Amino acid sequence: MNIIGAGLAGSEAALQLADAGFRVTLFEMRPVCSTEVHHSDCCAELVCSNSLKSTKEASAAGMLKHELSALGSVLYRCALDCRVPAGGALAVDRTSFAERVTGLVEAHPRIALVRGRVDGVLEDGDVLFSDGAGKARPAGLPAKAVVIATGPLTASALSEGLARLVGSQSLAFFDAAAPIVMADSLDESILFRQSRYEEEGLGDYLNAPFSKDEYERFIGELVAADRVIRRDFETKDLFQACQPIEEIARKGVDAPRFGPLKPVGLVDPRTGHRPWAALQLRAENREATSYNLVGFQTNLTFPEQKRVFRMIPGLEHAEFARYGVMHRNTFVDAPRALDARGRFVRSRESGYAVPLFAAGQVSGTEGYCEAIRSGLQAAIGVAAELSGATPPALPRQTAYGALWSYATDPQTTGYQPMHVNFGIMPPLPVRVKNKGERYAAYAQRGARALDAYIEALKASGVPFAFGGAAAAGE
Ligand SMILES: Cc1cc2nc3c(=O)[nH]c(=O)nc-3n(C[C@H](O)[C@H](O)[C@H](O)COP(=O)(O)OP(=O)(O)OC[C@H]3O[C@@H](n4cnc5c(N)ncnc54)[C@H](O)[C@@H]3O)c2cc1C
């Protein structure tokens, strides 16, 4: 089959299908052409933060990780192998992670990794392909199924084709990424090493403490600084979950103090008190040679980022390894465009003789682990389709099942890409007042539902390797 896009979702789908015994052609446009945010030609490059979020069992992100582990996700295993310290979160050395995934893809005997841009999908599953020389032409590789996993920065010709396929529901809008600074340019006589409440591992974060005066001067400059895109970020087509820091500050001088600059759980050892506000910096790699400004996605121009962010205590001489940037974010309106198995509902009426699947961010999910999980689920869907077996329905009690049923429920209106969260899970049969106990109950119920799902999937005859060796031949 043809999989388009070797990001998190596409790489996971390819490795799962290949492990299950299917032959896969995986198309990746980099390095022939790149995006505004990718820096390498590796598969599964993490484009912003290096954190895959909390590992705490009684959290939605922790539940998702349990699902990835139980189902045998290849990329999740790679992430564990490339882990760097990050308190209670799973963070990775992004270079090692991407190189490890690329190595697995390239070495797999059933995967052909083809470098070039796909500009369209043809009716027989072949693709319109450009390797950078001349016009796009059919690749000559018809397929029994196609997975589109081209992510939030899907190249424009393919996005236009997607928009035609799903009607006018395919949208492009903006998202924001945080800057990264070099560790040896930071002033550790001002910054202090501490995890919030010290509960998630000692000292995995550097904290920049603000006094009231320093904070107010900083916010004043932040809201007045030059931006790249002059646009009202409160409009409905803005990705609300990833607001640039200057837009948060524009809502009120104290808004960042209750958001990314919140000081709760931190005590400045120099004063013995909680600072007025604090920025947290998280290591980007194993060696902690660079740090990410946590929650500082931004749309400021590069010179303004340098000027304004150097007003943060301890960052006066900061060298920027990477500035924050703004991005497009392409995704389909999943409740109307996709069915429960992730297939485009209008593919048949649009003349396609083969099923077209969507996976990853383009399918309307949001987040690294969600993209990996979505690639894995697309692999199950494709394997079912090609083998003629009927897969069990994904239980809504699981983290991804809840997200996916919300995303593909035609009753969902105004759909925005979403992380897994407890808010979309079915309520517990008995009300549990205590928050910790409630989350633990969600996690336990989800784990039971997942066990039942895995048993049913095994019994269904869908070829799937569960992280093991090849299960079936095509
Ligand atoms: C700027 C930005 C920052 C983000 N930061 C975070 C974060 O910090 N944490 C988090 O959890 N999530 C984040 N996300 C959201 C999301 O989880 C990631 O974008 C994630 O990488 C999505 O995985 P994916 O596989 O869908 O897409 P990607 O990982 O982007 O993979 C898609 C691949 O398809 C390729 N491609 C695109 N078009 C074509 C084409 N026409 N032909 C061939 N190949 C093509 C691309 O080169 C890319 O390799 C961010 C998103 C953006 C845009």
Q: Provide the β-strand partners of residue 279.
A: 208
SS3 6: coil
Q: Which residue did the predictor score with more confidence, 442 or 288?
A: 442
- 47, 65, 73: which to mutate for ligand 1, most atoms within 8 A of CB? 47
- Window from 9-18, 81-90, 317-326, 425-434 with minimum mean pLDDT: 317-326
* pLDDT digits 0-9 by tens, 182-204: 888 999 999 999 988 765 555 78
Q: Is the pLDDT of residue 428 over 70?
A: yes
Q: Is the pLDDT of residue 133 over 90?
A: no
Q: Is the pLDDT of residue 230 over 80?
A: no
Cα(73) to centroid of ligand 1, in Å?
18
pTM of the model: 0.79
Q: Provide the β-strand partners of residue 2.
A: 25, 146
Cα(362) to centroid of ligand 1, in Å?
9
Q: 400 Cβ partners below 8 Å, 6+ apart?
A: 64, 67, 370, 373, 374, 377, 394, 420
Q: Which of 340, 204, 221, 173 is nearest to 284 (CA)?
A: 204
Q: Which residue did the predictor score with more confidence, 173 or 434?
A: 434
Q: Which residue did the predictor score with more confidence, 175 or 162?
A: 162
Q: How far apart are CA 91 and CA 283, in angstroms?
A: 9
* pLDDT digits 0-9 by tens, 144-154: 999 999 998 89
Find tokens 């992100």 and name the residue: 61
Q: Is the pLDDT of residue 169 over 70?
A: no
Instruction: Determine the pLDDT at residue 168.
Output: 62
Report residue 417's pLDDT band, with 50, 70 and 90 as the boundaries: confident
Structure tokens at 430: 């008995």
Cα(112) to centroid of ligand 1, in Å?
21
* 288: exposed, middle or buried (Cβ count in 10 Å: 0-12, 13-18, 19+): middle
Report residue 469's pLDDT band, with 50, 70 and 90 as the boundaries: low
Q: Which residue did the predictor score with more confidence, 105 or 472?
A: 105
Q: Which residue did the predictor score with more confidence, 227 or 71?
A: 71
Percent of the chain residues topping a pLDDT of 70: 91
Ligand 1 is surrounded, with C-beta below 6 A, by: 4-10, 27-30, 35, 37-38, 47-49, 117-118, 149-155, 158, 175, 177, 327, 329, 360-362, 366-368, 371
Is 177:38 a contact under the CB 8 Å cutoff? no
Average pLDDT, the chain: 90
Q: Compute CA distances 452 → 388, 392, 399, 457, 464, whole Å.
A: 21, 10, 14, 9, 16
Is the sign of the CA dihedral 415, 417, 420, 423 positive or negative?
negative
- 113, 121, 150: which to mutate for ligand 1, most atoms within 8 A of CB? 150
Write down how long the chain is: 474
Cα(360) to centroid of ligand 1, in Å?
8
Instruction: Determine the pLDDT at residue 233.
Output: 42
- Window from 28-32, 87-91, 276-280, 420-424 with minimum mean pLDDT: 420-424
Structure tokens at 291: 């740090």
CA 400 to chain centre: 13
Cα(444) to centroid of ligand 1, in Å?
31
Mean pLDDT of 159-178: 72
Q: 47 Cβ partners below 8 Å, 6+ apart?
A: 35, 37, 38, 177
Report residue 235's pLDDT band, with 50, 70 and 90 as the boundaries: very low
Is the sign of the CA dihedral 149, 457, 61, 241 positive or negative?
positive
Instruction: Determine the pLDDT at residue 174.
Output: 57
* pLDDT digits 0-9 by tens, 67-124: 999 999 999 999 999 999 998 999 999 999 999 999 999 999 999 999 999 999 999 9
Report the run of H or E that residue 306 belongs to, with start and end: helix 302-309
Instruction: Determine the pLDDT at residue 265.
Output: 92
Q: How far apart are CA 51 and CA 43, in angstroms?
A: 17
* pLDDT digits 0-9 by tens, 274-304: 999 999 999 876 678 789 999 998 989 889 9
Mean pLDDT of 257-270: 94
Kindly report the protein residue whose alpha carbon is nearest to atom 3 of ligand 1. Answer: 48
> How many Cα atoms occupy the beta-carbon half-sphere of 154 within 13 Å?
33
Mean pLDDT of 133-139: 89
